[in-house]
Amino acid sequence: MVTTAELHDIAKKAERIFARYGVACCLTGGVACGLYGTTRPANDVDLVVLTTAHQQEELKRILVAADPQFYLVASKDPYATYRVLWYRLGSAYSRYAARCKVDLLVPGIMNIPDVPKKYIETLGGLPAMPFMLLLWMKLQARTDHRGSPKPYMRPKQWDDVRDIDQLLDIARRRGEMIRAKTAWMPASFVDAALARIREYIADFPASKAKWEGIGYGGRRSTSRLVGVL
């Protein structure tokens, strides 16, 4: 199993390579959650590359060309037009080395908004998705996993729930407040997140106090959405 140190090393290499092209990126998913303090181990690297000049497949090829430990394999889906990016651990030329999957996302994919560079947090020397956006993305992942037509994806919702509950505790310790930390996000994106909070509270009523503690509900919520909550 890939270690946290290895995941961080992969992310740093990718960040440095993209920086040569003047392109910023930030971590999302399990590695980003871990940087903020969650305890569930991550097993792959999810990077949001903040560019409109390069498509996902081109970004993958940039990494592969720059470092032989990044490599591409065909998707298991015979109809897929994309290739899957992996990072080979250990020797770059060993056929039997352990490997780690690397997912590259760009704004617009999975409804991810374009993230202004000033909001990216540096944690442990790594660029992390802004905290509130990461929490919103975890809520979206939980909804997507729960409603997935693929049975093997549905159990992942419980990993999302574990992460969300820990992120809520971390949010309170950090003094995160919805109104202050979502003003830069598209209103439609925030609306969708707030709807998912309502669903989450309906499923887990004990979480309501935690959501209220970071400004969910009534006049303490996002100003442009008062009356919707």
Tokens 């209220």, residue?
212
pLDDT recorded at residue 14: 98
Question: Which fold does the domain 4-111 belong to in CATH?
Answer: Beta Polymerase; domain 2 (3.30.460)
Contacts of 110 (CB under 8 A, 6+ apart): 137, 140
Give the pairing type, strands 121-123 and 126-128.
antiparallel
pLDDT recorded at residue 76: 84
- For residues 200 and 142, the answer to whether their CB atoms sit within 8 Å is yes
Q: Dig out the tokens for 100 from the structure.
A: 């780690």
Q: How many Å apart are CA 84 and CA 194, to the nearest integer?
A: 33
| DSSP, residue by residue, 60-127 | HHHHHHH-TTEEEEE-SSTT--SEEEEEE-S-TT-TT--EEEEEEE-TTGGGPPP--GGGPEEETTEE
pLDDT recorded at residue 48: 98
pLDDT recorded at residue 218: 45
pLDDT tens for each residue of 126-161 = 999 999 999 999 999 999 999 999 999 999 999 999
pLDDT recorded at residue 96: 62
Q: Give, rounded to a whole angstrom, the gap between the first and last alpha carbons of the chain.
A: 42
pLDDT-above-70 percentage for the chain:
92
Contacts of 32 (CB under 8 A, 6+ apart): 26, 46, 128, 129, 134
Q: How many Å apart are CA 13 and CA 111, to the nearest integer?
A: 26
* pLDDT of 227 higher than 90: no
Q: Where in the chain is the domain with CATH 3.30.460?
A: 4-111
Give the helix/strand (H/E) hosting 128.
strand 126-128
Mean pLDDT, range 46-51, rounded to an integer: 97
Average pLDDT for the chain:
92
pLDDT recorded at residue 94: 63
- For residues 15 and 127, the answer to whether their CB atoms sit within 8 Å is yes
> 96 or 177: whose pLDDT is higher?
177
Q: How confident is the model at residue 111 (pLDDT cuts 50, 70, 90)?
A: very high
